[in-house]
Amino acid sequence: MSEPWTLLGLPGPGGHLESVNADLAEGMSCVWLLPDEFVDNGFADALVDEVANNHDSLPVPPPEGTPCSAWEEAVPPPRVGQPTNDLPPWARDAFSALADFDAPTSPVAVATLPRTTSVAERIAQQLDLDVDGWSDEIRAIVTEPQLRGRVLVVRGWREWDRDSLASVLARLTSQVKEEGLQPADRPRLLLATRERDLPRTALDRLDQMTTRVRWWWGVVGRLDTAVVVATARPGSRRATSSTRKAALRETVAIEVITEVAGPDLRLAEHLATTWDGLIASLDDIIEDWASALGVDCRPVPTLPRPTTNHPPHELRPAWRLGMADLWEHQLRISPAAVRPARGGLGLDKMIWRGQNRALMPVVDEYRELLEKTFRERVSRTVLDDLTQQERARGTASLPRRSVLELGDMAWAVQNGKVQLPRPEKKLLFILREVRNALAHLQPISDEMLEHLARALPRDG
């Protein structure tokens, strides 16, 4: 992620790291499942380093070499076509075009894969442990005084053998209990991994008394997204010192970006730095961003029920790409992955949510100011009429209304029962339009937002 914000500086991720640190401090081993995207962009390594630095840790080195280097040596050299006289004349005439497929001029070099040490073997080699007196490396590691209370850090994406990794994980975490070690004295494992780095059943075989499983799931919340948007968007720094109208446009833009991007912080940063705040251009900006990423997740017809601890299986493909998460207790798939259409339950719903959060406080603030002016000019008879109307609708119980709604004030002004100054009258009617649109779950248009901004008092 680019400056001026970092993942580790956000409150949600910070709290998640505290949970992982607490597990390790309690003597528990921790399996930490991270999205594939985090490994690709370097976030995963930064997260692991941050946790490891908080403990007496021992990074376990990865296997030497590369998993395919030896296989590359086993590829036979290209065959060199040579004329041959081993065939009879009729065959040479009929199959002369096959001359290039004669045997190679030199024998094929056959290579064998180098022996890949397991995690346990690498730990033993790293500490020069004498394992001759033990049945295997696991028991030697668990009882080694040098490792008492230490955190063994393994990055699953650097390992080649999933089955071996799962075996070490299961055996080491159960062996510490069999040896009767107190939690503070146990060597514990921090295995940061992608889901595909372990066999499917690996997590089911873990000893829950010695091991915790943590998924990067539900980590990012609204506050995190809002911080990213506010710090990345240049206009947000000027809004507080500019006019009320400019601040209104910027507040709406920030809330819409926050709601639309949700847990997708990359999209949040992109929209914050590129979107002009016009609703009409938002879907095009998202479409261009999605095309640049080259990500297109398979649509999920119906979202599954939210799970608090791990992503549902239906969302795992999108989660691995960093495109799905639990955000504010709701399952969210990034618009950059599914590219929702305007209307229905797609982009319009998210736009409305953002606008509603930004504009309802504004509507309430100015309704209260307009009510003061209205009461100074309204007669008792008109107030009684408004109360009777409310009683007929079953919404009023007091003889004298404590709150005047925008619709009632607009009705009285429109029917000539109350005279308001022109600016207040204009503001009253646009506030009513905005409130009605939001009440019907409809996003307001760019034109309506512009009318509202112009109607606000200049010195407000």
SS3 of 43-90 = HHHHHHHHHHCCCCEEECCCCCCCCCHHHHHCCCCCCCCCCCCCCCHH
The pLDDT, as a whole number, for residue 5 is 82
pTM assigned to the model:
0.82
- The per-residue DSSP string of 213-224 comes to EEES-S---HHH
Integer Cα distance of 82 and 420 in angstroms: 102
Q: What is the pLDDT of residue 115?
A: 53
Instruction: Report the alpha-carbon distance of residue 227 to residue 243 in Å, rounded.
Output: 22
Cβ neighbors of 1 (< 8 A, separation 6 or more) are 7, 43, 265, 266, 269
Structure confidence at residue 280 (pLDDT): 93
Kindly report, residue by residue over 210-222, the tens digit of the pLDDT: 999 999 999 999 9
Cα–Cα dist 141/134, whole Å: 10
List helix spans (H) across 185-264. Answer: 222-232, 234-239, 244-261
Residues facing 32 on adjacent strands:
192, 214
Q: What is the mean pLDDT of each run of 10 residues along the chain (460 residues)?
A: 77 98 98 97 96 97 68 44 50 47 46 62 87 76 93 97 94 93 95 97 93 98 96 69 78 97 96 94 92 75 82 94 94 84 70 97 96 92 80 56 85 93 96 97 95 84
166-191 confidence digits (pLDDT tens)? 999 999 999 999 999 999 999 999 99
CB 10 within 8 A of CB 16: no
Tell how strand 188-193 and strand 151-155 pair up: parallel
| Region for residue 344 given its phi and psi (left: phi exceeds 0; alpha: psi -120 to 50; beta: otherwise) | left
Contact of 155 with 197, CB cutoff 8 Å: no
Can you read off the two tokens belonging to residue 6? 């970092």
Q: Which residues contact 99 (CB under 8 A, 6 or more apart)?
A: 81, 82, 83, 84
Report angle CA 45, 51, 55 to the nearest 5 degrees.
135
What is the predicted pLDDT for the residue at 81? 47
Question: 324-327 and 151-155 as β-strands: parallel, antiparallel, unpaired?
Answer: unpaired
Please check whether residue 302 is in contact with residue 295, taking contact to mean a CB–CB distance below 8 angstroms: no
By three-state DSSP, how is residue 4 classified?
coil
d(CA 366, CA 405): 11
pLDDT of residue 64: 80
- Per DSSP, the residues of 305-345 read PP-SSS--GGGHHHHHTT-EEEETTEEEE-HHHH-PPSSTT
Q: What pLDDT score does 79 carry?
A: 46
Q: CA–CA separation, 360 vs 435, rounded Å?
A: 7
Q: Is the peptide bond before 4 cis (omega within 30 degrees of 0)?
A: yes
Question: Tens digit of pLDDT for each residue in 35-89?
Answer: 999 999 999 999 999 999 999 999 999 998 656 544 444 444 444 444 455 555 5
The domain spans of the chain are 7-64+113-215, 222-340, 359-455
CATH class of 7-64+113-215: alpha beta
Q: Are strands 330-333 and 324-327 parallel, antiparallel or unpaired?
A: antiparallel
Q: How far is CA 320 from the centre of its chain?
A: 10
